[in-house]
A and B are shown apart, each in its own frame.
Chain A
């Protein structure tokens, strides 16, 4: 018996795919997808690392500027890695109003009581770098900076700060060279003569 197909016969090209065609197309699709996925992942990681680097660099600048501001007016410095204490004149009274200086009898001047000073402590604790003035609440200068290291080198009339962090461009962790490359230096001339060591005014 002959069955007659009354409708239009389907073109051969619109028929089912051959298994080989399916494999090839799936492979191409997978390759492109994986490529895209890897590309986007890489792009996203790169973006995150760049953003992290940028944030960390801004943190470095801020910490450095804070320390430089205090070092310029410092009368004494105790430098240590991630823990530096700077003493500045007692310029403000209890109400925060500037005081009139008086002569110290040694050719210099003092603010407030003779021998008084304000202690400013910079330290890294639990991933945050703080600035604490006397016993006031510590001010967090930068958060999530557990990989930061700040070194303060005291050369008497001049103090140099060096701040580094570990960049995250490499999933295996930052190399020593990469960390060194993030170093942010600041050399500050101390304007006042120091009370802790022999030094002159500039």
Chain B
């Protein structure tokens, strides 16, 4: 019997081993390459998601700031460490657990503070600084990228935690690699009178061929002697609604128009942009906490004295209602020299001015009226000696649910006023022979029959009640 040549079989075995070794090497190299790229892609996506976490922290802080604008109790800052109350004056910090995408644990550290450098000297409004850190665990090994530039960019925390309690203080990681991104944003207060017209529901300009534009009474290049000048017209006469319809009535709108997934019907021209993604919940007006005992109802000629100090108790009044007609007037008197004075009136019921009745605002007086009922101003209406809409502001206190209240503002003379009544149906009618209205209107619905010109004073954007907060600076701290 012949036996097979053992050397030939050995050769086959060697070749087999060699081929398997080569294939294994190729497989290992491929696996190494793919693994590195997979890990890189994973770390990159986690890095991106950490930014979303940090930006969410800013949104959460703004939500709390907005809550603090609501009448008390407003639940602002509940769940945050060291609740600061309505006035935030110190560095606050909270950690917000979050499920993250696909169940990946996410942590958001957010802090809000109010540096004195961020107080507006003109109106004492406080800007807030928000710092947030978004942190997400990295799945996979604590291995740096195969490219050092990736490491410099993404700054993964593989062994050391970069931001501890939101601050750049390194400490050993407690559990597993992670990635953190840190953002600092500054938000500024936004006035309730940030637009020419803002309505919760329908805006109806009722086919008056109205011209809506803007001027800035504080800027001589955008006004003349603090008054509207058509030759210096600006294009910030913005109109917005939380609803779906703006009946423009062949209006010329020198500004932006915004609806909530709605339409602008019949606009002759819009110089700005037309948005359909607008929604802004107006902050409801609460009953003034400072209100003194009521002086009853006013229906006779009366003079109320303003004071040089804003919010002075000496210049605050409460009435059950005001009803002026038949030559009765309400004079809001300031200093004889016309220097700046202030007065605040709280009306628990209705306000009515009709016929030869009139409200007279003397020079230098800034008037703020809070009303809980209806407002009807017709006839001689309001004589605003300053001709500044920021000097005659009407605030409608939020009515109970399912209560229908209104503001009808008209009269023989030009209307120079600002109305914020998001719970009232507001109708502005008249404006004198020229049909001019200077100011800003906010209502549940806004209707403007008989008005041919609405001039929004941009100065109103820095006065009045704070209605929102807006980001004015954003910076990623990538140390």
Residues of A in contact with B (beta carbons under 8 Å apart): 47, 51, 54, 58, 61-62, 65-66, 69, 72-73, 88-89, 91-92, 96, 98, 100-103, 107-109, 111, 139-142, 191-193, 201-202
- Chain B min CB distance to A130 (Å): 11
Residues of B in contact with A (beta carbons under 8 Å apart): 30, 33, 37, 40, 44, 47-48, 115, 117-121, 127, 129, 147, 149-150, 152-154, 184-186, 188, 461-462, 470-479
Evaluate contact between B149 and A62: CB separation under 8 angstroms.
yes
- Top 5 nearest A-B pairs (CB, nearest first) are A191-B474, A109-B473, A102-B117, A108-B472, A73-B475
Write out the residue numbers on chain A whose beta carbons fall within 8 Å of the beta carbon of B120.
103
- Chain A min CB distance to B33 (Å): 6
Evaluate contact between B474 and A101: CB separation under 8 angstroms.
no
Q: Which residue of B lies closest to A72 (CB)?
A: B476
Asked, given contacts A69-B478, A102-B117, A142-B149, whether A107 binds B188 with beta carbons under 8 Å apart, the answer is yes
Evaluate contact between B475 and A91: CB separation under 8 angstroms.
yes
- Chain A min CB distance to B21 (Å): 15
Asked, given contacts A201-B471, A201-B472, whether A103 binds B118 with beta carbons under 8 Å apart, the answer is yes
Partner of A58, one of B37, B115, B471, B472: B37
Asked, given contacts A107-B462, A201-B470, A201-B471, whether A73 binds B476 with beta carbons under 8 Å apart, the answer is yes
- Chain A min CB distance to B317 (Å): 33
Asked, given contacts A62-B153, A65-B153, whether A101 binds B479 with beta carbons under 8 Å apart, the answer is no
Cα distance, A107 to B236, chains bound together (Å):
15
Can you give 9 A-B contacts (C-beta < 8 A)?
Answer: A65-B48, A65-B154, A89-B475, A101-B115, A103-B121, A103-B127, A108-B473, A191-B474, A192-B473
Write out the residue numbers on chain B whose beta carbons fall within 8 Å of the beta carbon of A62.
147, 149-150, 153
Cα distance, A54 to B149, chains bound together (Å):
16
Asked, given contacts A54-B33, A102-B117, A107-B188, whether A88 binds B475 with beta carbons under 8 Å apart, the answer is yes
- Chain A min CB distance to B187 (Å): 10
Write out the residue numbers on chain A whose beta carbons fall within 8 Å of the beta carbon of B30.
47
Cα distance, A202 to B471, chains bound together (Å):
7
Cα distance, A106 to B366, chains bound together (Å):
23
Evaluate contact between A109 and B472: CB separation under 8 angstroms.
yes
Cα distance, A100 to B118, chains bound together (Å):
9
Evaluate contact between B474 and A72: CB separation under 8 angstroms.
yes
Write out the residue numbers on chain B whose beta carbons fall within 8 Å of the beta carbon of A140.
149
Write out the residue numbers on chain B whose beta carbons fall within 8 Å of the beta carbon of A111.
473, 475
Evaluate contact between B44 and A109: CB separation under 8 angstroms.
no
Cα distance, A107 to B472, chains bound together (Å):
8
Write out the residue numbers on chain B whose beta carbons fall within 8 Å of the beta carbon of A139.
149, 152
Partner of B118, one of A58, A65, A96, A101: A101
Evaluate contact between A109 and B476: CB separation under 8 angstroms.
no
Cα distance, A100 to B122, chains bound together (Å):
20
Q: Which residue of A lies closest to B30 (CB)?
A: A47
Write out the residue numbers on chain A whose beta carbons fall within 8 Å of the beta carbon of B149.
62, 139-142
Evaluate contact between B474 and A109: CB separation under 8 angstroms.
no
Partner of A61, one of B44, B127, B475: B44
- Chain A min CB distance to B192 (Å): 16
Cα distance, A69 to B30, chains bound together (Å):
32
Q: Which of A61, A111, A191 has the most CB of B within 10 A?
A: A191
Evaluate contact between B37 and A54: CB separation under 8 angstroms.
yes
Q: Which residue of B lies closest to A43 (CB)?
A: B26
Evaluate contact between A58 and B186: CB separation under 8 angstroms.
no
Q: Which of A61, A62, A66, A108 has the most CB of B within 10 A?
A: A62
Q: Which residue of B lies closest to A106 (CB)?
A: B472
Write out the residue numbers on chain A whose beta carbons fall within 8 Å of the beta carbon of B127.
103, 109
Partner of A51, one of B33, B47, B119, B129: B33
- Chain A min CB distance to B28 (Å): 13
Evaluate contact between B476 and A58: CB separation under 8 angstroms.
no
Cα distance, A62 to B104, chains bound together (Å):
23
Write out the residue numbers on chain A whose beta carbons fall within 8 Å of the beta carbon of B40.
58
Write out the residue numbers on chain A whose beta carbons fall within 8 Å of the beta carbon of B47.
65
- Chain A min CB distance to B18 (Å): 13
Write out the residue numbers on chain B whose beta carbons fall within 8 Å of the beta carbon of A54.
33, 37
Asked, given contacts A108-B472, A201-B470, whether A101 binds B44 with beta carbons under 8 Å apart, the answer is no
Evaluate contact between B186 and A101: CB separation under 8 angstroms.
yes
- Chain B min CB distance to A36 (Å): 11
Cα distance, A62 to B462, chains bound together (Å):
42
Asked, given contacts A101-B186, A109-B127, whether A69 binds B476 with beta carbons under 8 Å apart, the answer is yes
Asked, given contacts A100-B115, A103-B118, whether A73 binds B474 with beta carbons under 8 Å apart, the answer is yes
